[in-house]
Amino acid sequence: MIRKLTEADRMRVLDFLSQEPSINLFIIGDIEAFGFEETFQTLWGQFSDEGQMEGVLLKFYESYIPYFTKTDFDISDFLEIILRHKGTTIVSGKEDILKLFDERLPKHTTKSTYFCELTHQEHLIEYADMNLVKKARESDAKRIYDLIETIEEFNGVSNSIERIKHAIKTKTGRMFYIENESGDMVSIAQTSAENSQSAMIVGVATRKGYRGKGFMHRCLNKLCKEVMSEGKTLCLFYDNPQAGKIYHKLGFETIGKWVMSTVEDE
């Protein structure tokens, strides 16, 4: 049986997701931040005949994340909900879960990345010029947007000024940046899906012409230090070997793979 989840299901759902809190960072974070009544977010739960929760599906804007632990889980109901979506649809999750969707989704592209976790600070550095790194406010959203739009690697990634403002306002994300003398942002490190237990590092970027100066490393270190001082674990994805080396030097350890499948509206 499948049904929409409500506020009455909160503790039950969070207990289920806490079996793998880092993997479920996005779902846990979105529940804590937005609950069950927002128009842009919906959650469904799949239950056994005995009423035991067996799976959870999150819809956040155009993105869907399924989660379950049983290897013989029937994805049919989750798949039907996902295929109702009009427009570009993104389905993401841990590798063994997304494998079950791969052959049953319409024509799509798939990207696989390494999933890493940071649980200690011993490799983080306190640079002498850390005052160069500033924490973004809502009023900085336009400058953040402008920087991200210049980064070729982020082509196709959903980005808007309102989403950036919303993340800062709701504290589901934070951004640390370095700017040039003209006040343009040249390097940034961000978190997303922050919750009471963890945060995801996303959108780490440096504008062309300013790379190789250690700006990104400074932003990352300051970001990681602040988040971990709050007792949270940090997670991130990477597929670039050079980026992987940077993250591993900070103390990140690979714990699996994350897959994102994009179905374009025909």
In tens, the pLDDT along 177-200 reads 999 999 999 999 999 888 888 899
Q: Record the pTM.
A: 0.76
As given in the structure block, the two tokens for residue 65 are 């994340």
* pLDDT greater than 70 at residue 19: yes
- Please compute the mean of the pLDDT values over residues 216-224 and round it to a whole number: 95
Residue ending a domain, among 62, 89, 113, is 113
> Number of folded domains in the chain?
2
Position 265 in a domain: no
Instruction: Verify that 163 and 81 share a domain, yes or no.
Output: no
Q: What is the pLDDT of residues 93-130, one digit of tens each?
A: 999 999 999 989 999 999 999 999 999 999 999 899 99
Domain of 109, CATH number, reads: 3.40.630.30
Instruction: Verify that 156 and 190 share a domain, yes or no.
Output: yes
Q: Residue 210 and residue 208: Cα distance in Å, rounded?
A: 5
Instruction: Verify that 157 and 94 share a domain, yes or no.
Output: no
Instruction: Verify that 140 and 236 share a domain, yes or no.
Output: yes
* pLDDT greater than 80 at residue 62: yes
If you write DSSP's letter for every residue of 86-130 in order, what string do you get?
Answer: -S-EEEEEEHHHHHHHHTTSSSEEEEEEEEEEE---TT----TTG
Tell me the residue range of the domain where 25 lies: 2-113
CA end-to-end span of the chain: 31
Exposed/middle/buried for residue 78 (C-beta within 10 Å: 0-12, 13-18, 19+)? buried
Tell me what pLDDT residue 158 has: 66
Q: Residue 190 and residue 185: Cα distance in Å, rounded?
A: 13
